[in-house]
Amino acid sequence: MPSRAEITHFGAGPAALPTEVIENAAAALIDFQETGLGIAEHSHRSALASNIINEAKADLATYLDIPDDYEVLFMQGGGSGQFAATAYNFVGAWVARKQKELGGSGPELEAAVKNLKMDYIITGSWSQKASAEAERLFGAEHINVVADSRKTNNGKYGTIPDESTWNLSQDAAFVYFCDNETVEGVEFPEFPKSLENGQIVVADMSSNILSRTIPVNKYSAIFFGAQKNLGMAGVTVVIINKKFLPPTTSQPPAILMRQLGLPIPPRIFEYETIAKNNSLYNTLSIFDVYLAGQVLKRLLKQSPKVQGQQAIAEKKAELIYAVLDAHPEVYRITPDKTVRSRMNICFRIEGGDAAEDVFLKEATALGLTGLRGHRSVGGVRASNYNAIPLEGAEKLAKFIETFAAQRKTS
């Protein structure tokens, strides 16, 4: 049986974690800070739990340069839960603004709601699922697809439509995009210039958070599941501008939303409620937050800001893409070169499934695991998350080179 040290796991999630973080967490599960109890046994209402949450929030704010006018929430339900939560909360905020503008909740507000739109930029499976969830909850009449890469790429994902073609609403409740699509390996190279005109922007950064600089002040909310670059599945982080929280904006009363024919969020998905309770409205998994906090402390020790990790992430991605590009007769990188993800490197091998099965089998024998592509698209996918060391990327690049040489001579 292989040892942990012999394996480099490129799985898309749950992803690999730094061994030292796991070792510390294992000890904490037995006895946390000499309390005689494991961390998972301590009350989420204890001072110990509050300290863990507050430290993780502060370290995240330091590492990503989160401005003071933003709040950090720890929630449950994963990214899929946030597909609903973002729609619920930002539609509620839109209704509250309209009510204030119109001076009441009479016929004028009811008429305004007919024009309510949520804008979605669809560049892959996850943004499509987010759009579909909002449509299921609010109705197709309230969804505006700003752009869909399938319409300009022969029915397939793999590009980001040119911004000149985007059809943005005039007064959307929010504009939504997924910054990095894990299934198709598509990543936005930078913040879209079309969204720098005062729009309310919500982004899913589940798979590339903590890997590059983020202009946080350009977003109204950012969310991400922990299980890629931050920790374990079970906790989801939301970074939200405080102007969407009380006392500036509060969710409209449930009775008003029902009168308007709009749904209301369960309390557990209401940002206002989670913020008021410092993420402890219900029983949050403090162990998950602790683990995320340990990952952050390790990152801060390596570099005081995310720019240090960004340089490593880019170097690892460049190594792997360079060797794939060097053998176009063997490998085909699936997304367009202008939008290649640094986190999820997706490619196909000449010879189809049979050749890819051989590649995966030989890679596994070398301790390079988790490389099979998503079940919906197949192929090969190397998820290059933060826990993948530079040596692991180099080992994979060397194997890609060797495999290409074998294919040419066979």
148 is an active site residue: no
List the one residue out of 391, 230, 395 whose CA is nearest residue 299.
Answer: 230
Q: SS3 of 151, please? A: helix
Beta strands in 279-355 (DSSP E): 331-333, 344-349
Q: Would you call 408 exposed, middle or buried from its count of C-beta atoms within 10 A (0-12, 13-18, 19+)? A: exposed
Catalytic residue, from 98, 117, 119, 126: name it: 126
Angle at which helices 286-302 and 307-325 cross, to 10°: 80
Catalytic residue, from 98, 204, 288, 316: name it: 204
H-type alpha helices, 31-77? 47-64
H-type alpha helices, 303-389? 307-325, 352-365
3-state helix, strand, coil in the chain (%, to 5): 45, 15, 40
Catalytic residue, from 57, 117, 228, 316: name it: 228
Dihedral sign computed on CA atoms, order 316, 319, 325, 331: negative
Q: How many CB atoms lie within 10 A of CB 382?
A: 30
Contact between residue 253 and residue 191 where contact means Cβ atoms under 8 Å apart = no
Contact between residue 163 and residue 193 where contact means Cβ atoms under 8 Å apart = yes
316 is an active site residue: no
H-type alpha helices, 304-351? 307-325
126 is an active site residue: yes
CA angle (366 as vertex; 360, 367 as ends), nearest 5 = 90
Q: Could you give the residue numbers annotated as active site? A: 126, 204, 228
